[in-house]
Amino acid sequence: MTISNSATPQAGTCVAFDFDGTITTTDSLRDFVRYQVGNRRFLIGGLLVLPWLVGMYTGLCKRAEAKARFLALTLRGRTQVELEEAAVRYVAERLPTLIRPEMLDRIEEHKRLGHRLVLVSASPTLYLGHWAQAAGFEAVLATQLEFRDGRFTGRLASPNCWGPEKVRQLQHWLGDARGRVLFAYGDSRGDQEMLAFAEHGWLRGLGALPSLDAWPDGLHHG
């Protein structure tokens, strides 16, 4: 069961977390694909997608196009049931080894303060929803895969949730509830707009995690 992207929050204090590189030690999408298809198909897909990766870094193609091409080369044709079952196994067996313990502590600290958590990531809702629900997140704003006739088409069903798209999805989720994004946590260029949108943005590598001692129960900040 995944967390719905369409849930609208009530007014209150929200905290937004990026996932890959922020909560995890590595890119979870690549890791999930390798976990699902094995090393051989993963490496072949990586080699075949190189032209699109070069195009992405030179500005000749969009990041979403390169991602969709890689997923098409590795996962296209897999059934939705097969991928959903793989996602459940991945979250139970593999993903815990990639999670940073200090970020789990930070998540628990925000929950203790009454802050409402939203996960904002370019990786797929396919497995993020399962992890986020267990971790206590209220919503997942992430990239969705397209399925047709019960099979993955190799395309994205939503905009790639990266850069400005993270803010657009956050604003849509907040809607008219007038909730505030008190903290946002990220680690890369793709998080900069989200960090600027929050009252307090933290980028991995630019200082220690901020103290939360000055932020009491989130209900007092609504």
What pLDDT is recorded for position 52? 73
Residue 134, pLDDT score: 95
Residue identified by tokens 């390798």 is 34
Tokens of 87: 């996602």
CA–CA separation, 179 vs 8, rounded Å? Answer: 10
What pLDDT is attached to residue 216? Answer: 58
Specify the fold of 13-221: Rossmann fold (3.40.50)
Nearest to 178 by CA among 5, 6, 8: 8
Cβ partners under 8 Å of residue 20, min gap 6: 26, 27, 28, 29, 121, 122, 123, 187
Instruction: State pTM to two decimals.
Output: 0.87
The predicted structure's pLDDT at residue 217:
54
In the chain, where are the structural domains located?
13-221
**Mean pLDDT, 10 residues at a time, over the chain (222 residues)?**
41 88 97 94 86 75 87 94 97 97 96 94 97 96 97 96 96 78 94 95 90 61 37
